[in-house]
């Protein structure tokens, strides 16, 4: 996704119309991304708003052009999502939504409007660290070394969390498809 140079220049000049255009242009893709890291709509919106605040207040430190501005913004959103996870980790460690083995998650196909909604549902039921590692590795393309540095675990733990996520997701999706 490429942000127009007009919007980028306007945002650097703190033009409210350009800032609004940037927000509208990025909101939907950012919401989709934030949903993968958060547990609900309110948390996703909170992450997006904090990310846009950082983007707009640090835009003058951006040294690239319109071709890589979106990637810069996306990196800020991912880091803000990780900060959100870290800030809520204590609360989530006592309020886990991980399903028990006997939970089968059997749904009619009409329960989800898209396959991505179904996958997002399952992702949200993974333990927080496992889901975060899966998102960063499988969907964002980070290496295990980068993930370990970002979230404060070792590379072996990152690999284990990825394996665990894949195994659980495959089991849940397979159970849903078979029955």
pLDDT of residue 108: 45
Q: How many Å is the maximal CA-CA distance in the chain? A: 57
pLDDT of residue 178: 47
So what CATH class is 98-179? mainly alpha
Copy the structure tokens of residue 35: 């949903």
Copy the structure tokens of residue 61: 């430190």
Among 123, 96, 95, residue whose Cα is nearest residue 33: 123
Per-block mean pLDDT, blocks of 10 residues, the chain (179 long): 88 95 94 90 94 95 90 94 82 46 46 68 87 91 93 92 92 70
Cα dist from 91 to 22, 53, 114, 136, 152, whole Å: 33, 25, 30, 22, 18
What residue segments make up the domains of the chain, in order of their start?
1-95, 98-179
Copy the structure tokens of residue 107: 């749904």
pLDDT of residue 89: 64
pLDDT of residue 96: 43
Whole-structure pTM value:
0.74
So what CATH class is 1-95? mainly alpha
pLDDT of residue 40: 87
Copy the structure tokens of residue 177: 């498809």
């Amino acid at each position: 996704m490429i942000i127009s140079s007009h919007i980028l220049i306007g945002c650097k000049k703190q033009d409210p119309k350009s800032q609004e255009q940037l927000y509208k242009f990025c909101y939907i893709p950012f919401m989709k991304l934030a949903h993968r890291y958060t547990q609900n709509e309110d948390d996703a919106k909170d992450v997006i708003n904090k990310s846009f605040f950082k983007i707009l207040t640090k835009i003058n430190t951006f040294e690239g052009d319109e071709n890589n501005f979106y990637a810069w913004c996306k990196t800020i959103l991912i880091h803000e999502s990780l900060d959100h996870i870290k800030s809520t980790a204590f609360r989530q460690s006592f309020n886990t939504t991980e399903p028990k083995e006997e939970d089968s998650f059997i749904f009619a196909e009409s329960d989800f409007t898209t396959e991505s909604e179904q996958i997002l549902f399952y992702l949200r039921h993974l333990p927080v660290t496992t889901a975060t590692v899966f998102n960063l590795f499988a969907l964002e393309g980070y290496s295990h070394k980068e993930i370990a540095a970002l979230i404060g675990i070792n590379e072996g733990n990152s690999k284990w969390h990825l394996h665990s996520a894949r195994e659980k997701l495959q089991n849940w999706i397979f159970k849903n498809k078979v029955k």
